[in-house]
Amino acid sequence: MDAQPQPLLTLSQPSAGKVMLTVFWDSRGPILEHYLETGSTVNSERYSDMLINKLKPAIRNKCRGLLSEGVLLLHDNARPHTAAHTIDTLQELHFEVLEHPAYSPDLAPSDYHLFGPLKDALRGRRFATDQQVKEAVHMWFNAQQKTFFSEGIEKLVQ
């Protein structure tokens, strides 16, 4: 009598999906870490809402006096950043936006100075939930030396 093959028991653990982070930072560190809801896309309405309801209060709490001194943003030319609705919101908030050339990776400090090392730090790690990813990112930000963020800003003006 031949033995019947038994099905292999496989245990799989669900892993976190892609997590989209928008981070606003200055020379002292992150001002706002904002994670897009799963299944959502960034559009002008969501970006404007984040500026009003997340970034402005975060600036008020973490960077006292900055709202009256003036907020200067550098973001890329992605459609949600350049749409008329977003431009109107930025004007209402009295936020100034630096010009960003159409393709200029050397002027994207978040790409080369922030997200590159963050991706390196997270590479090879497995996360069971989106929350674990968010916690790991937050811990990485907090673990950076005081000079890490100021060095990223200084690279912009050299």
What does the pLDDT look like over 10-66, one tens digit per residue?
Answer: 455 555 678 889 899 888 899 999 998 888 888 999 999 999 999 999 999 988 777
- In angstroms, the CA 107 to CA 113 distance is 10
User: What is residue 128's three-state secondary structure?
Assistant: coil
Per-residue tokens: 138: 């937050």
Q: What's the CATH number of domain 21-114+122-152, 3.40.640.10, 3.40.50.2000, 3.30.420.10, 3.20.20.140?
A: 3.30.420.10
Q: What is the pTM of this model?
A: 0.80
13: tokens are 């653990």
d(CA 81, CA 42): 10
Q: Read off the pLDDT of each residue in 88-110 and give the average, rounded to a whole number.
A: 77
Domain boundaries, the chain: 21-114+122-152
Mean per-residue pLDDT of the chain: 83
Higher pLDDT, 85 or 107: 85
Q: Residue 96 to residues 10, 74, 91, 107, 112: CA-CA distances in angstroms?
A: 55, 9, 8, 17, 23
Residue 103: per-residue pLDDT: 61
Distance CA 140, CA 81 (A): 27
Q: Residue 5's pLDDT band (boundaries 50, 70, 90)?
A: low
